[in-house]
Structure 1
Amino acid sequence: MLAALRREGDPYALTAGQLSQRMLVTTGAVTKRVDRLIARGLVSRSVFESDARGRVVALTPAGMTLIDQLIEEHLANEARILRGLADSDRAALERLLAMLTRAVGA
């Protein structure tokens, strides 16, 4: 959820329905996760500006700090994993992953 909000860009906020679509989970699952993240101070829930019936979930500064740290760790781990591959193997992997992405998207 933190990554989905971060990818959204400033103001790093989405409705529960939008989060549900991006995370491929039910809105009920989103609600449970939001509640846990609110308790940890990583996201906030507020009234949607254009419709007082709706709610929007947004990253807090602590959530932004954490997700940025996790992204750095993830990228470093990817680099570590790929370090052992020859350039030609990396190129082949990139080509195969692109083919897989197209096949899944079709």
Structure 2
Amino acid sequence: MEPSGKWPVNGVYRVEVSGWDTDRNFFVEKTELHWDETHGKHTRLSHALRKGSVVFVRLLQVVDVEQSRPIAYEVAPVGNRPNEFRLKQMSPRSSEGASQPR
């Protein structure tokens, strides 16, 4: 869901969000992702999440199969608005400093 010639940065996109809510129940929810240069990516969910929770977001309106892969985001609440979250894309951890498999 990064900017490309096919998708303008500003817009509203139908997405599927999945993750674990505050009760540790796994959920999958269809909603809208709002994306603009001023506020970044944000969405409203019917599930309560803790700050720093990880969710996976997948575009539903895809032009290219590559765009349908889920992307991991960290959530942060937006002010006092219940169940509205700002999304920050997570980066893969580098192999340096990562624990070695046993």
Q: TM-score, normalised by structure 1?
A: 0.25
Q: Which has the higher helix share?
A: 1
Which of structures 1 and 2 has the bigger CA Rg?
1
TM-score by length of 2: 0.26
| The structure with more strand, counted as a fraction of residues | 2
